[in-house]
A and B are shown apart, each in its own frame.
Chain A
Amino acid sequence: MTTMAIADQVQGLRCRSCGVLQPRDERYVCERCLGAVEPEYDLPSLRASDLRSRIEQGPRTIWRYAPLLPCAEPAQGLQVGWTPLVPAPHLGKAIGVDDLWLKDDSRNPSLSFKDRPVALATARALELGLDTIACASTGNLAGAVAAAAARAGLRAYVFVPETTEASKIAAAAWYGATVVRVRGNYDRVNRLCGSLADDLGWGFVNFTLRPYYAEGSKTLLFEIAEQLGWRLPDHVIVPVGSGALLTRTATALAQLIGTGLVPDAPCRISAAQPAGCAPVTDAVQDGWRAVAAVRSPETIARSLAIGAPADGDASVSVVRRSGGAAASVSDEEIVDACALLALTEGVLVEPAGGVVVATARSLARRDVFGRGERVVLYLTGNGHKGFPLEPELRETIDADPDAFGSAYPEAAR
């Protein structure tokens, strides 16, 4: 498998903790302080008019933003990104938000936003000449890694908690990945992968390829801004698992403004978590304190059940700096919100999406949104992957009109 030239707009990897700029080699954490390192771009060299034209002429995938990504597009990859941004007036009316929009990122190739970071991690794995990619996953990432590996001709090992939804495990297996089910919760799986990552010589997308992987999450806000006519929304509500999506939303915001792609305007970034695993939103609501890890996450929103989020404190900082807010919502509110979204807008999401909708409702009740404020909800996973609860259905009937009439008397009106 070949790739195009290495992205030349990246000047190196800068440590988010100590600030040192380091070479773009195989390192995945700061060699000095172990802090997270992030690609640094030569933004001043990217003139807004040229950049906008280049993007608009690009493919209808995340790779249209290649000048702001750390890897070049591989020769063969999945069609990731450029997902719909749609107004949601009925849901907005139901939850009390004037100008509500949905970024429906459940419509990626493996039905979650994880296809975005995995596309970058896979591109980096190919640059490095690796033959295997791997991950610790709550389910969605496993599918994304498995699909990307299949497309790229790589081997995949995906590690998941034993409680992961059967449908997500099955999908990863059908893509040809080796699915390793591990006793215990996600944080245990994560520890195992952290121990394995250094010595197997594989590309663990959320460990050894993390600086590249995380950059894929920027493309959600890039797309939202472009789809709004190169304007920022007033407010985005982001589900928080590890916090990588939320923190890279802030990075994307800075890069959109820094390159002049959008006018400099405030865009508030708010965090959504389930009450059963809310280390970040609890920290925000407890007066911006440090994040305290959750030992035993218990939530229907399993894709957000990460008790020790790597970007937790950074997420709290982003929410605060952007003027955002946070809420945590119960499992009952999550299920109700999923149902409301499906009923009002025809979009079926996994519980993480319900967390975002329920959070928007909670923030609306707290009068967090100004009048006419444009609010975008990040919907990151698809309900068709298998919703954890069965809907209430009536008894099966015989193929007989009278049987229908008596079982469904309300139908004739």
Chain B
Amino acid sequence: MSLTVRIPAPLRARAGGARIVQLEATSLAELRRALAEGYPDLGAAVLDGQAFASAISVFVDGEDVRFLPEDADLRNAHLVELLPAMSGG
């Protein structure tokens, strides 16, 4: 399944300046692997071992991945948003 991945401005230099990249993944593990292999610089910033780094928030079709099971099925998913982990207001 092709996922559209939105890259936040502070990370775009790590993705060749792209605002959006397309990745093939049907699970969170595959998504992380695709990031690490397709965009190693980007992967180094957003991954911490086998997990997403705590400084990044990751949403799949609007759902925070922290609330998704590790084996969540992404075959029908479309949009992945990467955002610096910031909140409060």
Q: Which residues of A contact B (CB under 8 A)?
A: 17, 27-36, 114, 135-138, 140-142, 186-188, 190-191, 194-195, 198-199, 206-207, 210, 241-244, 293, 295, 306, 308-311, 313
In the complex, are the beta carbons of A138 and B89 less than 8 A apart?
yes
- In the assembled complex, the CB of A19 is this many whole angstroms from the nearest CB of chain B, namely 14
Complexed CA–CA distance, A241 and B86 (Å): 12
Closest residue of chain B to A245 (Cβ to Cβ) is B88
In the complex, are the beta carbons of A136 and B89 less than 8 A apart?
yes
Contact (A210, B86) CB under 8 Å given A17-B55, A29-B10: yes
Q: Which residues of B contact A (CB under 8 A)?
A: 6, 8-11, 19, 45-46, 53-57, 59, 62, 64, 66-67, 81, 83-89
In the complex, are the beta carbons of A29 and B89 less than 8 A apart?
no
A-B contact pairs, 16 of them (CB 8 A): A27-B10, A29-B10, A33-B45, A34-B85, A138-B89, A188-B62, A190-B89, A191-B83, A195-B81, A195-B83, A198-B8, A206-B87, A206-B89, A241-B89, A293-B64, A310-B88
- In the assembled complex, the CB of A98 is this many whole angstroms from the nearest CB of chain B, namely 33
Complexed CA–CA distance, A207 and B10 (Å): 12
Contact (A34, B67) CB under 8 Å given A194-B84, A206-B86: no
Q: Which residues of A contact B9 (CB under 8 A)?
A: 198-199
Interface of A is mostly: loop
Complexed CA–CA distance, A35 and B83 (Å): 12
Query: How many interface contacts (CB-CB < 8 Å) are there between A and B?
Result: 97
In the complex, are the beta carbons of B57 and A308 less than 8 A apart?
yes
Interface of B is mostly: mixed
Closest residue of chain B to A291 (Cβ to Cβ) is B54
Of all A-B residue pairs in the complex, the 3 with the closest CB atoms, nearest first, are: A242-B88, A198-B9, A34-B55
In the complex, are the beta carbons of A293 and B10 less than 8 A apart?
no
In the complex, are the beta carbons of A194 and B66 less than 8 A apart?
no
In the complex, are the beta carbons of A207 and B81 less than 8 A apart?
no
Closest residue of chain B to A189 (Cβ to Cβ) is B89
In the complex, are the beta carbons of A242 and B45 less than 8 A apart?
no
In the complex, are the beta carbons of A310 and B87 less than 8 A apart?
yes
- In the assembled complex, the CB of B5 is this many whole angstroms from the nearest CB of chain A, namely 13
Q: Which residues of B contact A31 (CB under 8 A)?
A: 10
Q: Which residues of A contact B85 (CB under 8 A)?
A: 34, 308, 310
Complexed CA–CA distance, A29 and B57 (Å): 13
In the complex, are the beta carbons of B88 and A243 less than 8 A apart?
yes
Q: Which residues of A contact B84 (CB under 8 A)?
A: 28-29, 34, 194, 207
- In the assembled complex, the CB of B70 is this many whole angstroms from the nearest CB of chain A, namely 15
Complexed CA–CA distance, A184 and B4 (Å): 23
In the complex, are the beta carbons of B64 and A308 less than 8 A apart?
yes
In the complex, are the beta carbons of A206 and B8 less than 8 A apart?
no
Q: Which residues of B contact A207 (CB under 8 A)?
A: 84, 86
Q: Which residues of B contact A309 (CB under 8 A)?
A: 87-88
